[in-house]
């Protein structure tokens, strides 16, 4: 592997972010199809997070290995952050389109599955934007953890 400098590293992180975003969308589609059985839905939905963060960790380690393990925590988190921004934007946009145009009753089905009575939820652009930033913050907390693990592994290899 060739060593990536800052601009190239960010470009590679963007490509990996798109790959993770596509995986995220596929897994979300599968979990949305399981919404009628809340137990299967929960298993698939939470498995999606595990798979996505494993993919981000693996791709982050590829970039770190290409730089001979010399990336500092700040640089590692920058790479992970780029992947998170892109993949979360893709998956959250897909969810917005899915809930607005494909299955407008998805949130109501989820509410009905949880408490037995159908709910009424409105999914609009304002909620989407607010939810997106909450999602990014939550993912970034896990991204810090992934970056710390990658940084620690790189130091242990030296």
| pLDDT, averaged across the chain | 83
User: What token pair was written down for 132?
Assistant: 């997106």
Which of 65-88 are b and which e, b meaning 16 or more Cβ less than 10 Å from the residue's Cβ?
A: ebbebebeeebbbbbbbbbbbbbb
In 9-156 the beta strands, taken as DSSP E runs, fall at: none
What are the Cα distances from residue 135, in Å, to 39, 61, 116, 128?
Answer: 22, 23, 27, 10
The ranges assigned to domains in the chain are 6-157
> How do residues 29-78 score in pLDDT, each as one tens digit?
998 888 888 888 888 888 988 998 899 889 888 888 888 777 788 888 88
Judge if pTM exceeds 0.75. yes
């Amino acid at each position: 592997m060739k060593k990536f400098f800052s601009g190239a590293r960010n470009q590679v992180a963007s490509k990996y972010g798109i790959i993770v975003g596509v995986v995220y969308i596929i897994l979300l589609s599968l979990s949305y199809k399981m919404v009628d059985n809340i137990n299967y839905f929960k298993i698939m939905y939470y498995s999606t997070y595990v798979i996505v963060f494993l993919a981000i960790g693996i791709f982050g380690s590829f970039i770190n290995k290409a730089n001979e393990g010399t990336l500092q925590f700040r640089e590692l988190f920058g790479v992970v952050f780029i992947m998170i921004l892109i993949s979360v934007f893709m998956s959250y946009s897909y969810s917005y389109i899915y809930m607005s145009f494909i299955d407008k009753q998805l949130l109501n089905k989820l509410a009905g599955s949880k408490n037995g009575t159908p709910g009424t939820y409105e999914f609009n652009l304002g909620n989407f934007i607010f939810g997106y930033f909450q999602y990014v913050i939550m993912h970034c907390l896990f991204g810090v953890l992934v970056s710390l693990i990658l940084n620690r592994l790189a130091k242990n290899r030296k």
